[in-house]
Chains A and B, each alone.
Chain A
Amino acid sequence: METLIIILTGVLVSVATYLILSKSVIRVILGTAILSHAAHLLIITMGGLKTGGVPILDNGHDTFTDALPQALILTSIVISFAVTAILLVLALRTYQELGTDNLEKLRGFYDE
């Protein structure tokens, strides 16, 4: 099970990397979103996928799945959502002001 998920995250990372290396801003943002998916999957996998109870007490279980990675992921999901939102708005504004979403054309200023 763990091996399968880890291989899946590897594929997600590859896809994300390829998208991040693209010219268009949209693809890059999409790449970052996929990268955070991969990270979340990895965190929960590293916590161990052994079957146990849902981490809620008084459910008739003696053992629970690891609660700590879940808390970490929850934090991470929210943060990556915030970052994605900012990136999207930034891309939008960039496109409105500069008229391009091509990263090769966004080259900054020449300071000479």
Chain B
Amino acid sequence: MTVNFAILIPFLAAAIIPFLDKRLGRVHIGWFALLIPLGLFIYLASFIPNIAAGETIIHTLEWIPSYDIHFTAYVDGLSLILGLLITGVGALVSLYSIYYLSPEESLKHFYLYLLLFMGAMLGVVFSDNIMVLYVFWELTSISSFLLIAFWYHRKRSREGAQKSLLITISGGFAMLVGFIMLYAMTGSFSIREIISVISEHTDHPLFLPAMLLILLGAFTKSAQFPFHIWLPDAMEAPTPVSAYLHSATMVKAGIYLVARFTPVFGGEALWFWLVTGVGLFTLFWAAFHAVKQVDLKAMLAYSTVSQLGMIMAMFGIGSAALHFGYSTESVVYTQATFAALFHLVNHSTFKGALFMVIGIVDHEVGTRDVRRLGGLVSFMPITFTIAMIGSFSMAGLPPFNGFLSKEMFFTAALNISELSIYSLDTWGAVIPVVAWVASVFTFLYSMMIVFKTFFGPYQEEKLERPAHEPPKGMLIAPVMLGLTVVGLFFFPNLLGDNLLRPAMAGIFPSFPEAELGVEIYAWHGFNTELFMTFGIVVVGLLLYVTLKYWRGVYVLFPERWSFNALYSYALHQMEIRSRTATKSYMTGVLRDYLVYIYFFFILLIGGALVYTGAINFSITENAPITPYEWIIAGVMFIAAISILFAKSRLTAILLNGVLGYSIAVFFVLFRAPDLALTQVVIETVTTVLFLVSYHFLPEWEREHDRKRRKGLHLLISAAVGTIFATIALAVHNGKLFESISHFYENSYELAGGRNIVNSILGDFRALDTMLEVVVLLIAGVGVYTFIKLKLGKGDQRLEDQ
């Protein structure tokens, strides 16, 4: 078995879930779904020794070889970390959801979507071919859309799903364009090959656009400012989904993308500032706004955004090392990337646990509103313990893994601010300050999650159900995540040496692997970072105690001016504007559409005539005009003009007859006897038809149009006629080759007919004639049907009279 098939297994399992659901009977379908990520986790874990030894594994299945698109699975440290997170947290979430979702829910859909998502996510992290990566990327968007709207009868679920889909898909398209640009530059779809040749293309005009577009994709997916707005709304999803997608996996896809493309774009000032700057601002902005939330899931959503910003910022800081290339001094800056990878894992563990805890609280007492909760500690001691572990880890307190990564984050921020590239000498000092302030808010909301929920007065009258511990099965997953949080604090180097160091080698290919990575110590002496943490705790506690005095500051950020409001406004306006625009020209009046058509005819054909200078008059080759022809032309001219002024329809129809018969006379003069015959007969029949119809139709009235409209129509008709005649003249005077009609003069030898025209119709080009007969037949049937078959407007069938 190769990794390619491992990626496909969730899809296969998703395909059989609906069939299995009926067979299993009383057994919860989730138990089957649980087997998939569990098995994959064990399978992927078996790669750890190889990866730790510095190997990478690659396997290619050909998909569209003619376009150089292959399904290539590439396992290195970075993709393995994500792969283990996806399958590991996936298994825990499946287990948790077995107890969380009631059997009355549409479980087969839930697990189908979940497995679909899992497979897509594995595809994203293991794909080496960017086109395949993009396919899986969109699949994650679609499956997460389905999961968010799992309770589709709720309006807010549908809205949240729509919003997340619109934002992530827009970013995904931008990313696709960026990928295509990368291909245009390097001629390769393989990320490894792109990395190896990109140094020759950094001056390419497409380099910067490709960077910006790929970053746009990463930022939208990872909910970076200002695209973070979809994530809080996605909290309408069932809590296992929030825990899985919106903390551990999908939002890490953008982070993964940034990490994966750091060797491509890293070392550029714009990349550094965009990733670091956006990350830092997101970190601060979301932490600040998390504090004002009253819904625990919303609070966690903002905290996720904030933590993602922190990871993003660390990847940005780490990319500075690529600016120098390898040297003993530059290695120190790679520590930021190491910290980012470490925090990536840490965040997945504690955030997954926190979401599950909130889910338990919601499940047991029926509310997530912080104002209605309190004093749950004596009822739910185990839940409380996990919540405390998760929150304290998020706040960056020992003895939890969040402490380690936060200290490393501060180290990186302090180191980078002393650099002298990228105008860091002027702006560098901002980085640690923002990082510190944001951490204070992180501490604050982490404390709120624990203390507002589990301490304070117990308000039973506000709860739907009395509080008690949940079933044991529900606690297994969060307990295991909680244990991981603590375990990672005590044995961080186990993770660091086996996975993070190989991942670093992928991000910094030019650096020797032995020099990458950091030994993590829980105790690193009394240094600036430690004092910063002390400061956070002191200031954070102070803010927590005085919360009700300064809460008013949030009034300064009214909902009306938020990005959410901007998004809704823009969406609403786009609908209204496009509707107005469509309504303004789609009037439903046939005449208007005809005016458009004629207008474009004049503009395009007339324009082309003038532009190409094809206007060309010459009368030298003309045949001479006899007096007969002068007279008939004059008659037709007068008849045509008179139709416009005809007061009654009878005059008009007779004038039309005059035109038809004059043409018949022309046919005689031009030596076309068959035409003349047909024209006379047809004109007669047509005239009769007109007269018959007119008998039933009302008398034609004067057209009551406004002067301007009439003028416009006159102008259009004159222009159309002029252009028509001009083209005809130009074409007539610019003959390119002789006619082929001499061939048909052999009609007697070839077809046995002396009448050339009839030979053409019946012999040389008989197919036309046959179909023309069909046209006549259809018209006859049509006329008959129109007149004979009269279905009433309702069910009533009116008989012909």
Contact partners of A30 in chain B: CB under 8 A: 643, 652-653, 656, 690
Say yes or no: A70 contacts B675, CB within 8 Å: yes
Complex formed: what's the CA distance from A3 to B641 in Å?
A: 19
Secondary structure call for the A interface: helix
Stretch of B248-256, B459-467, B607-615, B780-788 contacting A (4+ beta carbons < 8 Å) = B780-788
Contact A54 B697 (CB under 8 A): no
Asked if B697 and A89 sit within 8 Å, CB to CB, the answer is: no
Report whether A4 and B629 are in contact in the complex, using a CB–CB cutoff of 8 Å.
yes
User: Is B768 among interface residues, defined by CB-CB distance under 8 A?
Assistant: yes
User: Chain A residues near B663 (CB, 8 Å)?
Assistant: 37, 40-41
* A50: min CB distance to chain B, Å: 6
Query: Is B782 touching A8 in the complex (CB atoms < 8 A)?
Result: no
What per-residue 1/0 map shows which CB atoms of B719-737 lie under 8 Å from chain A?
0111011101101100000
Residues of B within 8 A of A2 (CB): 619, 621-623, 732
Given A55-B755, A58-B754, also A106-B732 (CB < 8 A): no
Given the known A-B contacts A17-B716, A89-B782, A103-B590, are A47 and B739 also in contact in the complex, defined by CB atoms under 8 Å? yes
Given contacts A4-B633, A101-B697, contact A67 B744 (CB under 8 A): yes
Label chain B's interface by main secondary structure: helix
Q: Is the CB of B625 within 8 A of A103?
A: no
Is A56 a contact of B624 with CB atoms below 8 Å?
A: no
CB-based nearest A residue for B649: A26
B56 CB within 8 Å of chain A:
no
| Residues of A with C-beta under 8 A to B761 | 71, 74-75
Q: Give the contacts of B582-633 with A (CB-CB under 8 A).
A: 588-591, 594-595, 598, 617, 619, 621-625, 629, 633
Check B590 against A106 for contact (C-beta < 8 Å): yes
Residue contact A104 to B589, C-beta cutoff 8 Å:
yes
Bound Cα distance from A91 to B624, whole angstroms: 43
- How far apart are B82's CB and chain A's nearest CB, in angstroms? 48
> Can you add 16 more A-B contacts, CB < 8 Å, to A77-B675, A82-B779?
A9-B728, A10-B726, A26-B649, A33-B656, A42-B728, A45-B732, A48-B739, A64-B745, A68-B741, A71-B760, A75-B772, A83-B779, A88-B693, A95-B697, A97-B793, A107-B589
Q: Confirm or deny: B382 has a beta carbon within 8 angstroms of a beta carbon on chain A.
A: no
Contact with B along A8-24 (1 / 0, CB 8 A): 11111111011111111
A108-B779 contact, Cβ under 8 Å, with A1-B622, A46-B732, A74-B757: no
Q: With A15-B641, A44-B672, A66-B741 given, is the CB distance from A95 to B649 under 8 Å?
A: no
Chain A residues positioned under 8 Å from B722 (CB to CB): 10, 14
Shortest CB distance A30–B (Å): 6
- Stretch of B187-195, B349-357, B363-371, B681-689 lying at the A interface: B681-689
Contacts of B769 in A (CB 8 A): 75
10 A-B pairs within 8 Å (CB atoms) are namely A5-B633, A11-B637, A14-B717, A14-B721, A33-B656, A38-B724, A41-B663, A71-B761, A81-B686, A92-B693
A residues in contact with B690, CB < 8 Å: 30, 88
Size bin of chain A's contact surface: 35 or more
The reply to whether A49 and B756 contact each other, CB–CB distance below 8 Å, is no
The answer to whether B696 touches A3, judged by C-beta atoms less than 8 angstroms apart, is no
Asked if B703 is an interface residue, CB under 8 A from chain A, the answer is: yes
B709 to chain A, nearest CB (A): 9
The reply on B776 being an interface residue by CB < 8 A is yes
Which residues of the other chain, A, contact B652 by a CB distance below 8 angstroms?
Answer: 27, 30
Question: What residues on A are CB-neighbors of B726 within 8 Å?
Answer: 10
Roughly how many angstroms separate A81 CA and B666 CA in the complex, as a whole number?
A: 19
Name the 8 nearest CB pairs between A and B, nearest first.
A10-B725, A14-B721, A82-B779, A17-B717, A18-B717, A55-B756, A67-B756, A71-B760
B786 — which chain A residues lie within 8 A by C-beta? 86, 89-90, 92-93
Q: Which residue of A lies closest to B667 (CB)?
A: A44
| Interface contact B783-A85, CB-CB below 8 Å | yes
Q: B694: which A residues are within 8 A, CB to CB?
A: 26
Contact of A23 among B697, B705, B768 (CB under 8 A): B705
Given contacts A40-B663, A68-B740, contact A51 B686 (CB under 8 A): no
- Within 8 Å of chain A (Cβ to Cβ): is B660? yes
Q: Does B679 contact A (CB under 8 A)?
A: yes
Task: For residue A75, give the distance in angstroms from its CB to the closest CB of chain B.
Answer: 5
Checking A17, A78, A93 against B775 with a beta-carbon cut-off of 8 angstroms, the contacting residue is A78
Does B698 touch A at the CB level, under 8 Å? yes
Q: Which residues of B contact A44 (CB under 8 A)?
A: 666-667, 670, 672, 675
Q: What sequence of 0s and 1s flags, for each residue 642-661 of chain B, a beta carbon within 8 Å of any chain A beta carbon? A: 01100001001100100110
Max chain A CB contacts within 10 Å: which of B595, B732, B787? B732
The answer on a CB contact under 8 Å between A78 and B591 is: no
Q: Is B748 an interface residue (CB 8 A)?
A: yes
In the bound complex, what is the Cα–Cα distance between A98 and B720 (angstroms)?
32
Q: Give the complex CA separation of A33 and B697 in angstroms.
A: 18
How far is the CB of A59 from the nearest CB of chain B, in Å?
9
B721 engages A1 (CB within 8 Å): no
The 8 Å CB contact of B623, one of A14, A41, A49, is A49
Q: How many contacts A-B (CB < 8 Å)?
A: 259
Within B745-801, the residues touching A (CB, 8 Å) are 745, 747-748, 754-757, 760-761, 765, 768-769, 772, 775-776, 778-780, 782-783, 786-787, 793
CB–CB A108/B588 < 8 A = yes
Given contacts A33-B656, A46-B731, contact A74 B675 (CB under 8 A): yes
Q: Is the CB of B671 within 8 A of A68?
A: no
The answer to whether A41 and B698 touch (CB under 8 A), given A19-B643, A68-B740, is: no
Contact residues in B for A83 (Cβ distance below 8 Å): 779
Which residue of B has the minimal Cβ distance to A44? B670
B739 and A15 within 8 A (CB) = no
CA–CA, A103 to B33, complex, Å? Answer: 63
Chain A, Cβ-Cβ closest to B749: A57
A26–chain B nearest beta-carbon distance, Å: 6
Closest Cβ of chain B to A9, distance in Å, is: 7
| Minimum C-beta distance from B356 to chain A (A) | 46
* Contacting residues, chain B, for A97 (C-beta < 8 A): 793
Q: With A3-B729, A48-B739, A64-B756 known to touch, is A89 a contact of B783 (CB < 8 Å)?
A: yes
Task: Knowing A13-B721, A49-B670, A57-B745, say if A79 contacts B775 (CB, 8 Å).
Answer: yes
* Docked CA distance A12–B662 (Å): 13
Beta-carbon contact of A70 and B725 below 8 Å: no
CA distance A22 to B637 in the complex (A): 21
User: Across the interface, which residues of B come within 8 angstroms of A21, CB to CB?
Assistant: 591, 594-595, 598, 713, 716-717
**A68: contacting residue among B590, B594, B643, B744, CB under 8 A:** B744
With a CB–CB cut-off of 8 A, which chain A residues contact B670? 44, 49, 65
Q: Is the CB of A20 within 8 A of B775?
A: no
A102 to B776 CA separation, bound complex (whole angstroms): 28
Are A1 and B765 in contact, CB atoms less than 8 angstroms apart?
no
Q: A5-B633, A67-B744, A88-B689 are in contact. Are A56 and B755 (CB under 8 A)?
A: yes
Q: Is the pair B765, A54 in contact by a Cβ cutoff of 8 Å?
A: no
Query: Is B588 touching A107 in the complex (CB atoms < 8 A)?
Result: yes
Write out the residue numbers on chain A whose beta carbons fall within 8 Å of the beta carbon of B686.
33, 81, 84-85
Please report which residues of chain B, range 414-469, place their CB below 8 angstroms from some CB of chain A when the two chains form the complex: none
Q: A46-B728, A84-B686 are in contact. Are A89 and B693 (CB under 8 A)?
A: yes
Residue in A67, A68, A79, A108 whose Cβ sees the most chain B Cβ within 10 Å: A67
Chain A positions within 8 Å of B793 at CB level:
97
Q: How far is the CA of A13 from the CA of B718 in the complex (A)?
A: 9
B640 within 8 A of A: yes
Q: Does B5 contact A (CB under 8 A)?
A: no
- How many whole Å from B268's CB to the nearest CB in chain A? 52
B515 within 8 A of A: no
Residues of A within 8 A of B714 (CB): 18
Say yes or no: B775 contacts A68, CB within 8 Å.
Answer: no
Q: Which residue of B lies closest to A27 (CB)?
A: B700
Interface check B673, CB cutoff 8 A: yes
